């Protein structure tokens, strides 16, 4: 769904006037307790995207607690509601031409996303791929074709996706490439022709290429999964050349140009000594590479384009105190959408007009949020016990001396992902309640190169967990943390790390919150979604093989060692979670209840991998707040 406008779960906080007789500085002001719902309710407006002709904006807004799509006329300011979903939020949307919106939604969090469309002219809603237990991928929205898109469906075989050309007017779809059983991704050129396919057997990967859709596929790049070439887009003037991100033969991924016909790397365009390059952007109108991106302490950008440099320069001069991102533009590149953000606010949306360099605010994402009451998210580093540098973020409650504080340790999910700097409603909520929050990019976290990533292989519950424990001990040694008031909370892999923390270091934490977390490494790998099956051999190498590494997987499956847990635990789970099945939580809760350990269980029948419905978020965080207060103190 990378082509869809990202659905930001924008959360807010009430602006409350501080109490006091005299005028106080921001550092000295009294910080009010902000209503929990204001952190976790839906935004007023978010996810803006501009139409190709630059005349309209589409955005998300809540209707009866569900996020729906609206369209605003830029000239008149008039808005109208386009979708009317009541069961679940729209998961994402995009413009198809100037008068058609495509959007996706699933059922109860099962992640079998179906594609829908609505015409602004007729108002007709079409359900293109609402097929039970079938997932839709968008491969190419075909900007130059007014009525077709290319999609992937796993209807024929739930483990793989075939490519279809879909007519958005009639709903007719035509198979254009049948997946032989090992293709994990398809890619088109600028004319919408399927020219590249990624193939995997679970460990070894190959890039297939063809000169045109009538040519046969040729294998041009072969690696194992530890090395990768991720094609970004085709060159505009030589259709055999592709820009891509590659770590082949290097530790840090670089932006490169590759001759696909020969499979040869032609040129290294950008590298970073510390971080992986993550992606690149281009101008379709001007037919050129414009920017390259990577994530260090913050998201960073380097430009290949004077026009983009000039836009950023002008916008940043007018908005000096926030991070600025260009999110979309019209097809003529005359109007850009600008998004601002910081660690203390969800920021705002603006339009920027290139001709007169004017900036116009569209909306504040969290207009009621007083950022003076929000806490600073500080980048930190510490050393692991075996000498690795671990990067992370420490958020301290505002207005409180940073000594002997209660702490919530918050390991991220993935685990092959990372925490980033920016507004995080969970972190700000916890800081507002007086807790310091520690987030760390333990070994295996992405963007730090291959060596750091590979250091996590077969280390669930072991060196990866030590990196988390070492962060706790770092805060204690610095005098920041009260060693008797430390909690651990995480989701997905972070939930596994939470369970591992209270299993293998039972004296380190006063309480724990596991949110859709893995508890048994055997059952987790047996119940992965069908479209992950082709990656099973890779999972065996990265996590462990159920037979060859049986003793290790047994030892580091928390639910199999529940007798070691004495820490009070709160578990939350979505019944329709396709990634971490309900059984992962059920078996842990049952094992603890049999031993009389204090365990609280929240199961939501209409949720999947994390709670998306607003009322369920409220209930979860209300319960979490009471749980932490009971075991850490207010």
Nearest to 30 by CA among 43, 15, 38, 20: 20
Active site annotation includes 609: yes
According to DSSP, residue 365 is labeled S
- Strand-pair partners of 116: 103, 127
Residue-by-residue DSSP string for 88-156: S---EEEESSSSEEEEEE-STT----EEEEEETTT--EEESS--TT--EEEEE--TT-SSEEEEEE-SS
Active site annotation includes 84: no
Placement of tokens 């479209």 in the chain: 531
∠ CA 112-118-122, rounded to 5°: 155
Nearest to 69 by CA among 47, 96, 88, 52: 47
Placement of tokens 């490494």 in the chain: 521
User: Longest C-alpha distance within the chain, in Å?
Assistant: 78
Helical spans, DSSP H, in 419-519: 425-432, 450-454, 463-477, 493-504
Q: Of 492, 519, 557, 585, which one is the catalytic site residue?
A: 492
Compute the radius of gyration of the chain from its Cα atoms.
25
Q: Of 51, 577, 585, 631, which one is the catalytic site residue?
A: 577
According to DSSP, residue 608 is labeled B
Nearest to 140 by CA among 96, 75, 178: 96
- 8 Å CB contact between 104 and 91: yes
Nearest to 518 by CA among 546, 483, 560, 487: 560
Nearest to 588 by CA among 488, 513, 529: 513
Strand, helix or coil for residue 85: coil
Alpha-carbon gap, residue 162 to 138, rounded angstroms: 11
Three-class DSSP labels, 499-533:
HHHHHHCCCCCCEEEEECCCCCHHHHHHCCCHHHH
Other beta carbons within 10 angstroms of residue 33's beta carbon come to 10
Q: Of 100, 148, 609, 631, which one is the catalytic site residue?
A: 609
Alpha-carbon gap, residue 91 to 51, rounded angstroms: 19
Tokens of 552: 């290790």
Alpha-carbon gap, residue 443 to 387, rounded angstroms: 11
Three-class DSSP labels, 411-424:
CCCCCCCCCCCCCC
Other beta carbons within 10 angstroms of residue 11's beta carbon come to 24
Alpha-carbon gap, residue 254 to 231, rounded angstroms: 12
Alpha-carbon gap, residue 535 to 199, rounded angstroms: 11
- 8 Å CB contact between 210 and 218: yes
Catalytic residue list: 492, 577, 609
């Amino acid at each position: 769904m990378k082509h869809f406008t990202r659905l930001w779960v924008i959360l807010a906080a009430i602006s409350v006037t501080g109490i006091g007789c005299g005028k106080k500085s921001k550092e000295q002001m009294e910080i009010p307790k902000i209503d929990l719902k204001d952190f976790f309710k839906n935004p007023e407006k978010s996810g803006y995207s501009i139409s190709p002709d630059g005349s309209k904006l589409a955005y998300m807004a809540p209707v009866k607690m569900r996020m729906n799509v609206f369209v605003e006329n830029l000239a008149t300011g008039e808005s109208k509601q386009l979708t009317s979903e009541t069961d679940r939020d729209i998961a994402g949307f995009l413009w198809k031409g100037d008068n058609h919106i495509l959007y996706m939604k699933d059922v109860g969090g099962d992640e079998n996303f179906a594609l829908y469309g609505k015409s602004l002219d007729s108002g007709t809603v079409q359900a293109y791929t609402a097929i039970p237990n079938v997932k839709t991928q968008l491969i190419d929205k075909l900007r130059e074709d007014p009525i077709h898109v290319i999609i992937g469906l796993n209807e024929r075989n739930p483990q793989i996706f075939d490519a279809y050309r879909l007519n958005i007017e009639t709903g007719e779809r035509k198979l254009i490439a049948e997946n032989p059983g090992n293709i994990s991704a398809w890619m088109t050129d600028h004319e919408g022709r399927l020219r590249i396919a990624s193939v995997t057997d679970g460990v070894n990967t190959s890039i297939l290429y063809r000169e045109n859709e009538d040519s046969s596929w040729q294998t041009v790049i072969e690696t194992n999964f530890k090395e990768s070439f991720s094609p970004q887009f085709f060159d505009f003037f030589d259709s055999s050349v592709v820009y891509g991100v590659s770590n082949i033969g290097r530790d840090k991924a670089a932006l490169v140009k590759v001759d696909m016909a020969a499979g040869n790397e032609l040129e290294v365009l950008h590298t970073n000594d510390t971080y992986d390059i993550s992606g690149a952007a281009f101008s379709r109108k001007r037919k050129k590479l414009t920017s390259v991106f990577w994530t260090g302490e913050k998201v960073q950008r380097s430009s290949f384009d004077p026009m983009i440099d000039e836009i950023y320069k002008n916008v940043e001069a007018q908005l000096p105190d926030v991070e600025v991102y260009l999110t979309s533009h019209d097809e003529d590149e005359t109007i850009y959408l600008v998004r601002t953000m910081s660690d203390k606010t969800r920021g705002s949306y603006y339009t920027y007009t290139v001709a007169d360099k004017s900036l116009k605010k569209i909306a504040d994402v969290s207009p009621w949020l007083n950022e003076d009451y929000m806490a600073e998210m500080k980048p930190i580093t510490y050393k692991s016990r075996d000498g690795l540098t671990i990067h992370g973020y420490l958020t301290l409650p505002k207005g409180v001396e940073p000594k002997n504080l209660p702490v919530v340790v918050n390991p991220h999910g993935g685990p092959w992902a990372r925490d980033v700097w920016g507004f995080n409603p969970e972190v700000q909520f916890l800081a507002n309640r007086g807790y310091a929050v520690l987030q760390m990019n333990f070994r295996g976290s992405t963007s730090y190169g291959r060596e750091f990533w590979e250091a996590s292989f077969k280390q669930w519950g072991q060196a990866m967990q030590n990196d988390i424990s070492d962060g706790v001990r770092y805060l204690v040694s610095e005098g920041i943390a009260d060693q008797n008031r430390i909690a651990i909370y995480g989701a997905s892999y972070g939930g596994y790390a939470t369970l591992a923390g209270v299993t293998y270091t039972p004296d380190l934490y006063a309480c724990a919150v596991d949110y859709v977390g893995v508890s048994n490494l055997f059952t987790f790998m047996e119940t992965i979604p069908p479209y992950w099956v082709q990656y099973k051999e890779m999972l065996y190498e990265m996590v462990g093989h159920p037979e060859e590494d049986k003793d290790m997987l047994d030892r580091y499956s928390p639910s199999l060692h529940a007798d070691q847990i004495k820490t009070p635990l709160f578990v939350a789970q979505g019944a329709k979670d396709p990634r971490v099945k309900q059984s992962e939580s059920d078996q842990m809760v049952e094992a603890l209840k049999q031993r009389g350990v204090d365990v609280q269980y929240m199961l939501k029948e209409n949720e999947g991998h994390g709670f998306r419905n607003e009322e369920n978020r409220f209930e979860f965080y209300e319960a979490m707040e009471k749980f932490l207060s009971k075991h850490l103190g207010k």
